[in-house]
Structure 1
Amino acid sequence: MIKRFIDSYFFYSFLRDPMAWGSFVVLVSLLFVSFSAPVIAPHNPYDTATIDIMNAETPPVWMHGGGADFPLGTDSQGRDMLSTLLYGMRVSIIIGFGAVILQALIGIFVGLTSGYFGGKLETILMRLADVQLSFSTYMVAIFFGAIFQSAFGMASYEQYAVPLLIIVIGFAEWPQYARTVRASVLAEKKKEYVEAARVIGLRPGRIMWRHIFPNTLTPVLVISTVQVANAIMSEAALSFLGLGMPVTRPSLGSLIKSGFDYIFSGSWWITLFPGISLVVLILAINLLGDWLRDFLNPKLYKG
């Protein structure tokens, strides 16, 4: 199987495109260092016993007043920026991929069901998708966040902020998948192999999931790359507005927010390094998604 992949036109085209493999290398590197944070990070930002407020706003090592113990300096709480950045990137990536998995599960099910059965069921499900699209991610986050904090308190919100944001962002964006899958199903169900499956007596569920669904994966893969980047950006925006990860639980968005008040006082590194990391992460995902979209579209890809 590995040899078939290496000999495939997909792998050959991938290696011929420097932008594709370059963005892939950057993305894999960021994933590796972020999920290896407990091993490679110099400090643990969650361990308050190792944090000294007297080290707050220490500049990077190459600036006057910096030290080798904090290569990228410290934030306003005295946490090592390099360690906090690695842990925060891991949280943002988990939220981004988790939200997209939830979006895909809901959207694919709704899109397959509405596209295959049609009729009143399709009308109801697509109107629900239209209603959902009228509510922004931020509005849904405010609604669910306010209810959760009122019911369980801020301490519980800080503890369950990651799964709550996955649910909020995933629930807010599933119509993108539903619309895409539905359009593919409407085109696929008119083809001869679907008619043949019906003639031999296969059940609708088997036809939908075993025959039609695999032929809708191309647009699903393309939209997933875009949605991962959007989900990470949504988390960062929500955290920056105070609706996402709390300051005590670092993510790229909460790190940018916590350092924004200090950017004009000289402690620019608290915001700059998380901001650069967020831009590089989003750019790598988007560039890889653009290549995948062009490759899977024969009208656009020229080899």
Structure 2
Amino acid sequence: MNKMAVFLGSDFVYRFKKDKVALVSFSLVVTLILAALLAPVIAPHNPYDLTTIDIMDSELAPIWTDGDTDERFLLGTDPQGRDLLSTILYGMRISLVIGIFAVMLQAFLGVTIGLLSGYIGGRVDAFFMRLADIQLSLSTLMVAIITLAVFQAAFGAELYSELAIFMLVLVIGIAEWPQYARTVRASVLAEKHKEYVDAARVIGMAPKRIMLRHILPNTLSPILVISTIQVANAIISEAALSFLGLGMPVNKPSLGSLISSGFEFIFSGSWWITVIPSIVLIMLILSINLLGDWLRDVLNPKLYKD
């Protein structure tokens, strides 16, 4: 209870309450995440249950428009006849799962490599940093497009549709680890010559314990900021790949594949199939980025302005 009271009275919480942009962004992120997590409960329909889908209900307009509408479908339907609101909720859950797990993989690889590179130095540092330079010279989308296209061609679309989430997490996660590695390495280089690290060496503490128990905790602030921004980047990457047909399959749509499925109908009058999921995606990405920018400013006293 005392720790909670200390946290609630901390400068971090005070600045959060004072910043309207942070409050709105955080509220929006929490609302969208809860809506995605509770999709099976709050969604009017189950877009994965084929017995509840009727192709005759396809391309019905939202109920507030003047076109063909149905009170059962608040935001209208997509080309397959699925309720758009339900599909957005389920699709947002898939996008968030891919984004969060891809960032977890990025963080694990990047933090591990950054700690080893910065602490050991020498040839180990040179090898990992040159590897990071090569990785940074290749865009995430280019690497992902080549990898996923080759996988589809080699193993077929049916197997890919079953492993789509795993493949997207793997590709996006591996492609972005240098962001973490460079940041952690810089922090390690600044910390490893300080007195508390020298004292740990003198008493015979193992290098692994020094890195994990003493140096790593001092790198958590930049890792938290990077993770917030990287979740948004991972969701954008997944949406772009799905839009190009290399992401989630049509029967298990993410926000990106849902936008892609309705793009060909946007000029025929069925604009809502693409526009509404696009608005949801923009709101999600923008709120996460704004929250990440606020965290960066607050956790770095040199950048924070009262």
Of 264, 289, 303, which residue of structure 2 is paired with 1:300? 303
Instruction: Tell me the equivalent position of 2:117.
Output: 114
Instruction: Tell me the equivalent position of 1:272.
Output: 275
Instruction: Tell me the equivalent position of 2:266.
Output: 263
Superposition RMSD on alpha carbons, in Å?
Answer: 1.0
In structure 1, distance between residues paired with 2:105 and 2:252: 22
Of 187, 190, 203, which residue of structure 2 is paired with 1:187? 190
Instruction: Tell me the equivalent position of 2:43.
Output: 41
Q: Which runs of 4+ in 1 moved over 4 A?
A: none
Instruction: Tell me the equivalent position of 1:15.
Output: 17
Of 8, 18, 27, which residue of structure 2 is paired with 1:25? 27
The CA deviation at 1:145 is 1.5
Instruction: Tell me the equivalent position of 1:219.
Output: 222
TM-score (norm. length: structure 1): 0.98
In structure 2, distance between residues paired with 1:287 and 1:139: 27
Instruction: Tell me the equivalent position of 1:5.
Output: 7
The CA deviation at 1:62 is 1.1
How many pairs are equivalent? 303
CA-to-aligned-CA distance 1:251-277 (integer Å, 9 cap, x gap): 110011111101110000000110000
Q: Determine helix, strand or coil for the equivalent of 1:146.
A: helix
TM-score (norm. length: structure 2): 0.97
The alignment status of 1:61 with 2:63, answered yes or no, reads yes
CA-to-aligned-CA distance 1:85-134 (integer Å, 9 cap, x gap): 00011100111111100000000000000000000011111111111122
Q: Determine helix, strand or coil for the equivalent of 2:176.
A: helix
In structure 2, distance between residues paired with 1:115 and 1:279: 37
In structure 1, distance between residues paired with 2:234 and 2:52: 32
The share of aligned pairs that are identical, in percent, is 65
In structure 2, distance between residues paired with 1:146 and 1:238: 10
In structure 2, distance between residues paired with 1:7 and 1:197: 33
Instruction: Tell me the equivalent position of 2:291.
Output: 288
Contact 2:145 / 2:241 at 8 angstroms: preserved in 1?
no
Of 170, 174, 178, which residue of structure 2 is paired with 1:171? 174
CA-to-aligned-CA distance 1:58-82 (integer Å, 9 cap, x gap): 0001123212100000011111000
Q: Determine helix, strand or coil for the equivalent of 1:264.
A: helix
The alignment status of 1:201 with 2:188, answered yes or no, reads no
Q: Which amino acid aligns with 1:154?
A: A
The CA deviation at 1:248 is 1.8
